[in-house]
Amino acid sequence: MTGRPPGAPHTFATPLRAVDRVEGRAGGPGLRFSTYKTVRADDPYMAGHFPGLTLLPAVFVLEGLRQALTRLIGAGEPLDLVEVTSARWLAPMQGGDEIRLDVTATESGDGRWLVTADGVRQDGVPVVAAKVVLGGRDADPADGLAPAGGPPPVPATASGPDYAAILDRLPVRHPMLLVDRVEAFEPGTRITTVKAVSGSEPCYGSMEDGLPLSRYTYPRTLMLESFGQSSVLLWLSSGTTGGVQVAAAFRRCRFAGEVRPGAVLRHVARIDRLMSDNVFVSGETWDGDRCVMTVGALVGSSRPRARLDRTAAPTP
């Protein structure tokens, strides 16, 4: 099976065409297939992710899984992330790299698919190991997500870095910069940030006309990326990190409800543990009084830029 041609319009909101081609569809208890994606600097969102160093965001691997399985099963409505059970990022995925994911997907009988994926670069280096749950609109948790205490109060006055300071601290730029404002800030401990979802974002720019409202659901992969950027802001305030901050792992990330243009997302991130060159963060994301995402653990890793850029000349 091959994907749509690069210029074909999308039928649902997505950051980029995260799959170039899909091969294989074995029978048995589940689907077994491989996906392929070449990391390109000219893909949507990529120019703003570590400008000058083309790296595939970790969440775009998860985006590729949902796009591939949606097409393979011929779903009438696109599948989406219900849970990231675990995902580990093992090596950088740089411009020009072709990433192959070997995938097993098993239908659980409740509208959900249990998906396991192991990825390698073209040089054989493992880059990702992930277990996720994908499902349609009816596969979200029946009781939603309801952390104790409800949504965070809106402070009368925002505190923390302003937008210029956010630009100064985060190694991302438009359109990949997904933090608009810091609303509450306890350096090294806790942060509340805001991300306004606009209909003019690139994830909506290549969609066909005449699609139902459900197709404009904001990609959960971008919501997770926005939470991750908020976590980096918090980690930087601890004074314990240098180099380049990248995602190392996600655990127990759950999603519920649809977020559409006009929503104002509020991320609450807390540092649970600091280690040498690593941070463990948990938290929630709210759309008004609805909790739309909980993050059991986001593990960040700080790495020297030279370890991420294989094209750089070695230091004498």
Within 8 A by CB and 6+ apart from 97, the residues are 38, 39, 56, 121, 122
Residue 174 a catalytic site member? no
The number of beta carbons lying within 10 Å of the beta carbon of residue 295 is 24
Q: Tell which residue, 25, 60, 11, has the closest CA to residue 39.
A: 60
* Active-site residue, from 10, 49, 174, 267: 49
94-124 burial code (b ≥16 CB/10 A, e <16): bbebebbbebbbeeeeeebbbbbbebbbeee
Q: Which residues have a catalytic role annotated?
A: 49
